[in-house]
Amino acid sequence: MEETNSNQKELALKRTMNIMIAVAVVLALVLAYIWYQKSSLVNELNIEKDALTQQMISLQNDYATLSSDNEQINAQLDSSREEVSQLIERIKHTEATNRAMIRKYEKELGTLRSIMRNYIVQIDSLNTLNHKLTADAAAARKEAAETRRQSEELSRTVESLSGQVAAGSVLKGRAIRMDAYNASDKITDRSSRVVRLMTTLSLVENELAPKGPVRVYIRVKGPDGILLTGDDQRTFDFNGEPMICSASREVDYQGEEVELSIYLNGISDFVKGIYTVEAYTENNLLGSAELMLR
């Protein structure tokens, strides 16, 4: 009886050991599978990180090829290049298993690519504009002079209207313009054909201004800044200071707007460049204008 019980206990112990061995084998297999899966995932993440790093390095090389003559864009490019370099360093020091940071860096990569595309568009636009400005330099200069003239005319008109009450009886001018005429009495911009200059302007309406004769003086300067004096040269007092004029004309002013023209004759030679004219009364500078001769 005792021998039977002993055999039964021995069989139960063997059965238990076999179960424990089977469980251990299963656990080992499970752990091996988990380790394999983890190793595969880590390997995939490392590959993904390496690919992201290579994309950043490629973007860094693309940024290095960009340049512009615009200082502001160059400053922005330097800032973006520094940002790319810092991002590459952060990626290198980030574990591949940190998915959140890797995804964040991917988004930053996309943003930097978009910024670079904007830089390319801006640089191309500036280059196109620079080529056009170079090709149209003469036309652009003439257009700029006309724009300045119109801006000055508009400023004088606004000042005349807004300052009439404050200025009181001060006489003002507007729409001042200087044109060059040839021997056929036609407007020209060829310096070799000019025989005289004509300045036109208007004395604006001002009911408070004194009525009666008013003399308007013009001072015309050549491209070298030297005053041109013609047949009607005279000296006048401007705010108590004597000044030499190129020409002058007297008109009857009765408070209403008066248009007048003043010719500058007797100039033997005209050269290429920008001529300026200033119109005065004895109490006020009426305005100025420019004329370009080629």
Q: 81, 64 in Cβ contact below 8 A?
A: yes
9 and 110 inside one domain: yes
219 and 166 inside one domain: yes
199 and 66 inside one domain: no
Give the CATH number of the domain where residue 213 resides: 2.60.40.10
Continuous segment of H or E residues that includes residue 34: helix 2-64
User: Phi first, then psi: what are they for 153, rounded to 5°?
Assistant: -65, -45
260 and 145 inside one domain: yes
Q: Give how many domains the chain has, as a whole number.
A: 2
Question: Which residue, 135, 151, 174, sits at the end of a domain?
Answer: 135
Each residue's pLDDT expressed in tens, for the chain with a length of 294 residues: 555 666 677 777 777 777 777 776 667 666 665 555 555 545 666 777 777 778 878 777 877 777 777 778 778 777 778 888 887 888 777 776 677 777 887 788 778 777 778 877 787 777 777 777 777 767 757 876 787 888 788 777 656 555 545 456 788 999 999 999 999 999 999 999 999 999 999 999 988 888 999 999 999 999 999 999 877 778 999 888 899 999 999 999 998 999 999 999 988 889 999 999 999 998 889 999 999 999
Domain that holds residue 193: 141-293
186 and 109 inside one domain: no
Question: Which residue, 72, 100, 135, sits at the end of a domain?
Answer: 135
166 and 213 inside one domain: yes
Quick one: pLDDT at residue 288? 94
Residue 226: strand, helix, or coil: coil
Quick one: pLDDT at residue 19? 76
Distance between CA atoms of residues 172 and 255, nearest Å: 11
Q: Where are the beta strands (DSSP E) in the chain?
A: 173-181, 196-203, 212-221, 227-228, 234-238, 241-245, 247-253, 258-264, 273-280, 285-293
Instruction: Judge residue 91's burial from the number of C-beta atoms within 10 Å of its C-beta, 0-12 exposed, 13-18 middle, 19 or more buried.
Output: buried
Quick one: pLDDT at residue 41? 47
Question: Which residue, 135, 169, 194, sits at the end of a domain?
Answer: 135
- Could you please report the per-residue DSSP string of 164-222? HHHHTT---EEEEEEEEE-TTS-B---GGG--EEEEEEEEPP-TTSPPEEEEEEEEEE-
124 and 12 inside one domain: yes
